Structure 1
Amino acid sequence: MFAVRRTLRALLTLWIVVTVVFVATRISGDPTYHLVPPDTPEAQREMLREQLGLTRPLIVQYADYLSRIAQGDLGHSFFSGRPVVEIYFERLPATLSLAVPALLLAILAGIPIGTLAAVNLNRPVDRGLMAMSFVGQSVPNFVLGIVLILIFSFALQWLPSGGAGTIEQAILPILTLGIASIAGIARLTRSSLLDVLGQDYVRFASAKGLPPSVVILKHGLRNAILPVLTIVGLQVGTLIGGAVVVEAVFSWPGAGRLLVSAVLQRDFPMLQFGVLAVAATVILANALVDISYGLLDPRTRGVQS
């Protein structure tokens, strides 16, 4: 039953996303002004609108769009005429080359930082780490990216300010994407670990004379990690969404920059599929989090079944 409910909820979410994006694109403006020169006669523009199917009633366009999705036809770009799926997946590896390292960085740095803060509760280390985490979560990606460029590219001249193709060019975008995720994971790890360390079984383990590292890692962090999994799953969507801004700042040729171009050019099919792909990624990540809950904590399996 859990799998059925989860699937139905995912399909409902995708339908809402598809509907909202479809309506938003249609009220955003006329794409023909980006497809032909400004001095093109209105009669020719109208012919182009008819060819693109934009002159039909909105409800007819919507029904046709849903029908084509059901048949696996996700549309062709207004500008290149190529299938939007093909274009998107050509750009996706570039985005994943930023998002995956950023997520790994967030996990490998965020959990130790949160643990260190928890075991040094209310000490200068704890206050300093949580202050930095607060700043990391508060600063928007585009601001952080510009600051990193000013420091590491212009002031220190250690790293390039943009482009793609080398490891050096990927460092600043990965840091920009990862810092907010590091902060979020660190804060949740601290909170969850403090809650677990206050439990009787952890105090009993400490009273038996077990080394503090064993108490914290085996009895504390192992049981505190489940809530952290939730935010890790959510960070997948945050990173994919944040890549839209970060790729624009660093001129990174990924799927995020492709979506920015689709918005500016009003390439409806490309934008619709891009947003749908991001939504599907977030839903899949959350489903994997639910599965991992069952694997790590057998007590949740009865609830999910």
Structure 2
Amino acid sequence: MVFEAGGSTAKVAVKLNRWPVPVPVQYAQCPDTAYHPYSRCSQTILPGGAGLVLDRSPSDEDDPAGGELLSALLTYRDGKQVFVSEAGRRALPLTHDHLAAVATSPVWHPVLAAIPAPPALPRTGSVPRLTAPQISRIIGRLLPNGVRAGRPGGADGFGHLTVDDGRGKSLVAVNVQKWKPGDAAMTQVFRKAVTLPDGTRVSTRQGPAARGGPGTIEWTVDTLGADGLRVVISAINAGAYRLPAGRGTPALSPERLRRIALDPAWRQAVGGVSRRTPPGPITVTSHP
């Protein structure tokens, strides 16, 4: 619907949904600033346990000076969810408080109750998955002296930091996966890789950042151990994807990225998770 007030006009929409429990965190939290650098977001747990996410972002992230998108995302512990958004030019008629009031209104309860419960997520046995904070902390420990780090983020299996060596910000991201040794898909991915004496395969890529802003380049080191542990590390010459290049090259050299990807800290961390996790089939996801 189109809402007008005080000479301002905006498009307001409401979307109702229901997720399996536990709700995947990526569907109930603030946007990842590595991919949505213009997001200004807050998260609050309300009485009763529902999570409320309030976000302000450009309506078109390729034109951050254009219109705005305000949203309120309310996620209940049983998976029911209300998403209210408002899009338009500057000086939108509704505030975040208005959107939050709409999202938390009991008027939606009968409609949410009528949404069939979704099927449960398949039990994966949970291959050891490092959390985003775990990955970000390991990255931070492996950085060279003199490099400052901040703005950690990510999701399970994927973590990132913004680093600065004094010459500008650079996003560094790591994806940790576990594959079955000898998996055919990975054999194909690493068919041209260099094989180290311990059986680890290493491939490198350098080129324009696929989701980067103007002038951004990305350096990537992709490693696969003989035991199926895959560690992929990338760095770009900007503080986040979508942002224009802020420096000539990424803050970490390809050789430094290779050393971080091959560091035994990853295998030690996954092994620690494995000892706390019941065995089960292997699943794999890549970063967003």
Shorter-chain TM-score: what band? under 0.3
Superposition TM-score, scaled by structure 2 size: 0.24
Higher strand share: 2
Higher helix share: 1
Query: Which of structures 1 and 2 has the larger relative contact order (alpha carbons within 8 angstroms, sep 6+)?
Result: 1
Superposition TM-score, scaled by structure 1 size: 0.23
